[in-house]
Amino acid sequence: MEEPAAKRSRVVETDGETADKRSITLNLDKYAKWVREQTDEQLVSIFEIGLKIRESTILTVDVSQDFVKKTLTSQMEPAITSIETEVKRQLHGVQTAQGDVTQVVSKEVNKLSTEVQSFKSDVKTDIQNIGQEFQKKVNDVVSSASSLKTLDDQIEKSERRLTDHINSKMKECNDALTNIASSLRMSHVKGSVGEVQVINVLKEAFPNFTITDTSKQPRSGDIQVETPQQNKIMIEVKNRDSSNVPQSEVERFKENLVNSQDIKVGIFLSMKTGIVNKALNGEFQVKFYQGQYQIYVPNAGRKENLIAWSVLLADELAHVMQGDLGNNQDQKHKQLHDLYKEFEESRTFEKTCHENLKSLQKSTESVTNSLKTILKIVEKTRKNLKSLLGNN
């Protein structure tokens, strides 16, 4: 009998591997599921079983078929028994492994289920806590909203009280202004306003003149001016809103002037309107009556220079006693008006000079302050230099 092929010695090397040791790759997709589920050790065991079967069947027999059959039967029975035993053992191992795996998986599943239940419990508790906290915040907001509403109500009440108070004060102011306006429409109050304006103009133009309010003294006019030459001038002020000053007012002025013999010149000023039959062709008019000069100035409030001019003219006329300006009255009136124009220009120039002088004074003061600051800086720098150089 020839020796089985499995028993033959192989010494030929293939791809670096010896015949005694070889790596084999199996395509398990061609086999049944139970084969694919076997471990590497189990597959090797099955491979060995197959080899034993193969070795038992590869025989060279030169005897009769009955002998071969008997021989094969006697040889195969132990092998088959061995195979069955090995297969049962392997199946038992597989079943045992399946049981172990099932037990492990079941244990892990139970553990996971426990952890999930614990997580669900924790999440539920957290959600409940969040809900309670949210409810608390909502309650706080509602409480704050209630406080804000109370505050808003208080602010609204305060606003109403403040508005009522302001409206009340506004009404009082309007009533007061109405009374003031009503009073201003009264002739004596309007006259007082005009008198104050005239006094302010004269005090600015003639700071060395003595100016007295005589409106409360009967038949003395509204204002009396005494010049440095001791000339007295009576001034009557009218502050009508419309229509010319009537002749009756002019006659009263003339009468009061005649009754004041120590006064040489009287001035009749109409602040806003004309004077009936006076100064029709000019800005002022000079008249002579019973040894006294009268100067009529309409619309005096529109040109404050006319007020100052009339007093300056009155101071000079107090020394003239020729009556109605003597001869060539028209010519002299024209010359007086020309002089007034020069006076007006000089007054305008004077105001400009005063404004420029004030501006120059401010500039000088600013330069002086700047110079003082510079000197302080220089002195401070000098001290610092001495300290630095050790020249104490």
The pLDDT, as a whole number, for residue 329 is 59
Does residue 306 sit in the same domain as residue 200? yes
Does residue 331 sit in the same domain as residue 197? yes
CA atoms within 13 Å, Cβ hemisphere of 88: 6
Is 79 among the domain residues?
yes
DSSP letter string, 99-149 = HHHHHHHHHHHHHHHHHHHHHHHHHHHHHHHHHHHHHHHHHHHHHHHHHHH
Is 40 among the domain residues?
yes
Q: Give Cα 114 to chain centroid, integer Å.
A: 60
Sheet of 223-226: strands edge to edge?
210-213, 223-226, 232-238, 265-270, 292-297, 285-289
Which ranges of the chain would DSSP assign to H, the alpha helix? 33-36, 40-57, 65-184, 187-205, 247-258, 304-317, 329-389
Q: Mind listing the pLDDT tens digit for each residue in 356-377? A: 777 777 778 777 877 778 778 8
C-alpha to C-alpha distance for 333 and 74, rounded to whole angstroms: 178
* Residue 242, phi then psi, degrees to nearest 5: -150, 160
DSSP letter string, 155-207 = HHHHHHHHHHHHHHHHHHHHHHHHHHHHHHTSHHHHHHHHHHHHHHHHHHH-T
Q: Predicted confidence band at 203 (pLDDT cuts at 50, 70, 90)?
A: very high
131-156: average pLDDT: 67
Domain ranges, residue 204 = 190-345
Q: Mind listing the pLDDT tens digit for each residue in 148-171? A: 567 667 777 777 777 877 787 777
Q: Is the pLDDT score of 292 beyond 70?
A: yes
Q: Is the pLDDT score of 1 beyond 50?
A: no
Is 216 among the domain residues?
yes
Which CATH number do you get for residue 321?
A: 3.40.1350
Neighbour-count burial for 95-117, b at 16+ CB within 10 Å, e otherwise: eeeeeeeeeeeeeeeeeeeeeee
The pLDDT, as a whole number, for residue 67 is 65
C-alpha to C-alpha distance for 298 and 39, rounded to whole angstroms: 136
Does residue 103 sit in the same domain as residue 220? no
Q: What is the pTM (predicted TM-score) of this model?
A: 0.44
At which of 64, 90, 115 does a domain end? 115
Name the residue with higher pLDDT: 94 or 202.
Answer: 202
Is 384 among the domain residues?
no
Is 98 among the domain residues?
yes
Name the residue with higher pLDDT: 321 or 160.
Answer: 160
Q: Between helices 187-205 and 65-184, what is the axis angle to 10°?
A: 90
Is 238 among the domain residues?
yes
Does residue 199 sit in the same domain as residue 309? yes
Does residue 195 sit in the same domain as residue 103? no
Q: Is the pLDDT score of 257 beyond 90?
A: yes
Q: Is the pLDDT score of 27 beyond 60?
A: yes
Contact between 52 and 81 under an 8 Å Cβ cutoff? The reply is: no
Between the CA of residue 363 and those of 10, 19, 348, 353, what are the distances in Å? 126, 121, 22, 15
Which ranges of 206-268 would DSSP assign to H, the alpha helix? 247-258
* Residue 196, phi then psi, degrees to nearest 5: -60, -40
The pLDDT, as a whole number, for residue 95 is 72
For the chain, the straight-line distance linking the first and the last C-alpha, in angstroms and rounded, comes to 135
- Is 202 exposed, middle or buried (CB count within 10 Å of its CB: 0-12, 13-18, 19+)? buried
Is 221 among the domain residues?
yes
Greatest mean pLDDT among 16-20, 104-108, 110-114, 199-203:
199-203
C-alpha to C-alpha distance for 265 and 243, rounded to whole angstroms: 26
Name the residue with higher pLDDT: 58 or 239.
Answer: 239
Counting the structural domains of the chain, the total is 2
Q: Is the pLDDT score of 85 beyond 90?
A: no
Does residue 211 sit in the same domain as residue 106? no
Of the listed ranges 61-70, 202-211, 367-376, the least confidently predicted one is 61-70
262-276: average pLDDT: 93
Does residue 202 sit in the same domain as residue 296? yes
Does residue 195 sit in the same domain as residue 68? no
Contact between 210 and 230 under an 8 Å Cβ cutoff? The reply is: no
Does residue 234 sit in the same domain as residue 107? no
The pLDDT, as a whole number, for residue 328 is 55
Q: Predicted confidence band at 16 (pLDDT cuts at 50, 70, 90)?
A: low
Is 7 among the domain residues?
no
The pLDDT, as a whole number, for residue 9 is 45
How high is the mean pLDDT of the chain? Answer: 77
Q: Is the pLDDT score of 226 beyond 80?
A: yes
